[in-house]
Structure 1
């Protein structure tokens, strides 16, 4: 330690301090447009992402939108990498406000400038290569939907890039660490261990103390896997009901207090149109098994891509989904990812919403979710942060109706970054079959896809809309489900 107290060499009195001009200065917020239409003032790595996705004319015409899109996009990618081991938390409007603050701070952080090159180009999140089977038998007049799986190689590039950013930030920190810092780290580590034990005990106290194998018979069918855990099918030994069990490795969860609170919340969330929480067990001392309902009809996505739905069937699905949304909204919860993938069907036509809280990704679609919420269903205010709240779910419902009409959401064939730009600039998308829709359905869609949030309807208001009066019985969905399963070879 003696080197810390060495006498500094005497400074020569005649030396004159020379102050150099600042270098590598970035004004993150002050975005300008040059004569040739190039944006300046953003991190250089962000500028390289624009590539051919946003033209110079578009940059010049909508510089603020381009900045907002890049800011949100990069923050979401970074957050996805950081929270890759976490489950999806229940979202409230307070969480939205906090996220908005974090996005603003991110623009000015060193993480926004770390990358010397950008792998997040127009190739990122491009759809998987290879020919697609011609499986659209009934929907002959509509374009085939691209494969729904994200190109894994490009996703790896994205994750590697973000990880390298984190490593660089960590290296910068290490240079200035002292022995006292390391002592503090040791204290925090010990404190964290105590907290973890406390949380684990509290989680045990609210979980079923029994052996899950006494209640459920595990099948060999895996439903999916991802960073936050694996999901497998099982059968309730008493009722014969099919269930999905999500295995969460609690050692990989950094926010165990949220995990604890959400178990308490989900135990009280019961609704006929939600994939309901059924039970929870602590197994192997550090794994949480969350038991949820399992529907055997698959996601609504299969039906909308492989069959043509009548307006009465669309109304039936909307009515059921709206009841789930209204239930969540009344309890201060925002779903934030309403889309056909997250609407599951029973073979009897039952409709249930999933993918909220730790019930996320029951069908293993985690690889598709490379940002907070899926961009193609995203409301414009998510990017602009203007009056961002519960009504984002209503916009997403409107986009899901477009799915049920056209087989895919608008801009699906565009890369996510450009899709975000088009959603933010264009607002309400064009609907291919608009002129052939009934006035009641047109009115319903109008209320869902209002760019002005104040003019957009609430879930409660839409439940009383006349379009839902023409809804068909849910059992009419069964032939569509069977046809989709047959065409997708899922029978």
Structure 2
């Protein structure tokens, strides 16, 4: 038997499911969901009812009308915010940001925007005016609205392809705030003393773009980046904010990723200024660390990050079979990163295999926060915060939404390592959100095959009751992690995955 065949998972068939979203009629700005005497769900905007389509059955609507409302509210708000406030990077999030976000979602329910169809939200047009009846055979949605992962060769009955939310659904973090607003975004008691003037930097008012660029330039490396790094003949990707490319440090030969951010496309330069200062202080062995920053060509910011040569954990979970000891090793490393962020009042909100990068020696590092976002340049796959399939139920219900959303996502990532994909991957995002919120803890295909220690660990991660869910510190001391294998045992899996994906 060949080396690669020993690790390879069996391929699974692909299926296509597209959320059908129609046009609205009979606009009503007062959203109050009830079930009438005939057992019919009423009170939702017509556009929202059309979104439901076949994704949420009549029985499910009758059984959980409030959940249906919450899911549709969250889904549509996500589209709206993604359209009007597109960010080219994901800034660091605290629990205060979550509170502000929740307030904005409540306000959204009473706005005209809540009654717009998906298409009118994306175009900025209102659906309140009468429309000519459209061809009933014409879908108002489009597959291009749902960018997807590369095909996943997995073992099991779930689908190969991820159907993420529309690429317009980027970070939901609320940054559209008046510069004169003196509400502090960060609670200084939540962050370390090194960041004491972050609030001041982030909330500065009355500065022009030129002023912010001057401030950014002052805290960046004043030197010429070409004196420090030699660009490799390898582009890692591109997106709305610019190119990401590989380079080699002239001093020690270390490979790095450099993200070229076009500052003319960044509307929140105050956040960028704040972020550079924060990221300079965030250093941990299990984070893809910020290394340096330069202002070049007067209006481009080059952010230098670590580059891991083993690729994302996704390649390993989709192409190989992991042992429990290897799963424990990955969890231990990821939890150390999560614990570090949580200790500094920071929530990741998007823990999943795509955002865990590996070194060829088995090094495990978490990425996709702050300037680390899209460090490999895959900006076409930007998704709703949390990504529906890894999302904790309280993200939609807004109940006790805080740091422990990262622990739930870790639990779902363990399911990835066991089954090759997260639960509900075959479902379109809207239905996935409903199932996560209505069902709570998902079923795990191989549950009865797992050791009692792993079962206990997963139990602590996937508690619907947030108070019963473990913290990062709790889980770091769990007995399951005591039997973790050495990180170097991941190397054969990484090599096998690279070979099967033709990345060698």
Q: Aligning the two structures, in what range does the TM-score lie when normalised by the shorter sequence?
A: 0.7 to 0.9
Q: Distance in 1 between matches of 2:298 and 2:251?
A: 26
Larger helix proportion of the pair: 1
Q: State the structure with more CA Rg.
A: 1
In the other structure, the counterpart of 2:15 is none
**In the alignment, structure 1 residue 397 sits paired with structure 2 residue 399:** no
In the other structure, the counterpart of 1:106 is 108
Task: Give the C-alpha shift of residue 144 in structure 1.
Answer: 6.8
Paired residues for 1:229-308 under 5 Å: 229-308=242-321
Contact 1:145 1:407 in 2 (8 A): no
Structure 1 residues 306, 261: closer, same or farther in 2, change over 3 A?
same
Q: Which of 361-370 and 291-300 deviates more? A: 361-370
Task: Give the C-alpha shift of residue 87 in structure 1.
Answer: 1.2
Contact 1:37 1:59 in 2 (8 A): no
**In the alignment, structure 1 residue 220 sits paired with structure 2 residue 233:** yes
Task: Give the C-alpha shift of residue 85 in structure 1.
Answer: 4.0
Paired residues for 1:39-78 under 5 Å: 39-78=41-80
User: Structure 1: any 5+ residue segments left out of the alignment?
Assistant: 1-22, 160-190
What TM-score comes out, normalization by structure 1 length?
0.82
Q: Distance in 2 between matches of 1:238 and 1:105?
A: 53
Q: Distance in 2 between matches of 1:258 and 1:54?
A: 39
Q: Deviations over 1:175-214 (max 9, x none)?
A: xxxxxxxxxxxxxxxx999521111111011000011111
Q: Deviations over 1:15-47 (max 9, x none)?
A: xxxxxxxx9662533112245544322222121
Secondary structure at the aligned position of 1:357 is classed as: coil
Secondary structure at the aligned position of 2:371 is classed as: helix
What TM-score comes out, normalization by structure 2 length?
0.80
Q: Distance in 2 between matches of 1:61 and 1:90?
A: 37
Query: When the two structures are aligned, how many residues end up with a matched partner?
Result: 428
In the other structure, the counterpart of 1:81 is 83
Task: Give the C-alpha shift of residue 111 in structure 1.
Answer: 1.7
Contact 2:162 2:425 in 1 (8 A): no
User: Structure 2: any 5+ residue segments left out of the alignment?
Assistant: 1-24, 118-126, 132-137, 170-203
Q: Which of 362-371 and 47-56 deviates more? A: 362-371
Contact 2:326 2:487 in 1 (8 A): yes
Q: Distance in 1 between matches of 2:427 and 2:142?
A: 9
Contact 1:126 1:415 in 2 (8 A): no
Structure 1 residues 44, 120: closer, same or farther in 2, change over 3 A?
same
Task: Give the C-alpha shift of residue 307 in structure 1.
Answer: 0.2
Task: Give the C-alpha shift of residue 120 in structure 1.
Answer: 7.3
In the other structure, the counterpart of 1:345 is 358
**In the alignment, structure 1 residue 420 sits paired with structure 2 residue 416:** no
**In the alignment, structure 1 residue 147 sits paired with structure 2 residue 161:** yes
Paired residues for 1:92-491 under 5 Å: 92-115=94-117, 116=127, 136=153, 141-143=155-157, 145-148=159-162, 155=166, 195-491=208-504
Q: Deviations over 1:313-337 (max 9, x none)?
A: 0000000000000000000000000
Contact 1:145 1:305 in 2 (8 A): no
Structure 1 residues 276, 110: closer, same or farther in 2, change over 3 A?
same
Contact 1:225 1:364 in 2 (8 A): yes
Task: Give the C-alpha shift of residue 77 in structure 1.
Answer: 1.6
